[in-house]
């Protein structure tokens, strides 16, 4: 299967809070598996469906303020009983300058670590 990803994926566990952008559900806590310029994948304890629209806030490790986004679930994969991995595409990102800085720092950091191995 061809990888159609346009942006480099960075494996990094970040604190994530999310909720449906259309229902009145409460925010739920999660952790990311990876993030890229195009989207984020994170773990959930309830089933989600592709095309679900979610409000997702994630917290870069160097700053207490979240980056706020609206995402569309592209795929959902069951990891184990009552544990799912959601791959979501960014539709909108607020604080986008902070997001770009964050992604650039992570790419530079991962490249530096790769070159020293």
- Look up tokens 């559900």; give the residue: 25
Domain chopping of the chain, boundaries: 10-116
In the chain, which ranges are continuous DSSP H helix? Answer: 96-116
Question: Which residue in 55, 80, 5 sits closest to 35, CA to CA?
Answer: 5
Exposed / middle / buried, residue 113 (Cβ in 10 Å: 0-12, 13-18, 19+):
exposed
Mean pLDDT in residue range 6-17: 84
25 secondary structure, DSSP code: P
Give the predicted TM-score (pTM) of the model: 0.81
pLDDT in tens, 82-109: 899 999 999 998 877 778 787 777 777 7
The class of domain 10-116 in CATH terms is mainly beta
pLDDT in tens, 63-80: 678 889 999 999 999 998
pLDDT in tens, 17-52: 999 987 788 999 999 999 988 899 999 998 899 999
């Amino acid at each position: 299967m061809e990888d159609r990803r346009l942006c480099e994926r960075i494996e990094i566990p970040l604190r994530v809070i999310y909720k449906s952008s259309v229902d009145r559900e409460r925010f739920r806590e999660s952790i990311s598996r990876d993030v890229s310029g195009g989207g984020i994948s994170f773990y959930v304890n309830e089933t989600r469906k592709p095309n679900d629209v979610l409000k997702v806030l994630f917290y870069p490790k160097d700053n207490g303020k979240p980056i706020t986004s609206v995402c569309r679930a592209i795929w959902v994969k069951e990891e184990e009983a009552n544990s799912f991995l959601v791959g979501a595409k960014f539709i909108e990102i607020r604080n986008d300058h902070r997001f770009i800085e964050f992604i650039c720092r992570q790419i530079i950091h991962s490249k530096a670590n790769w070159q020293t191995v």
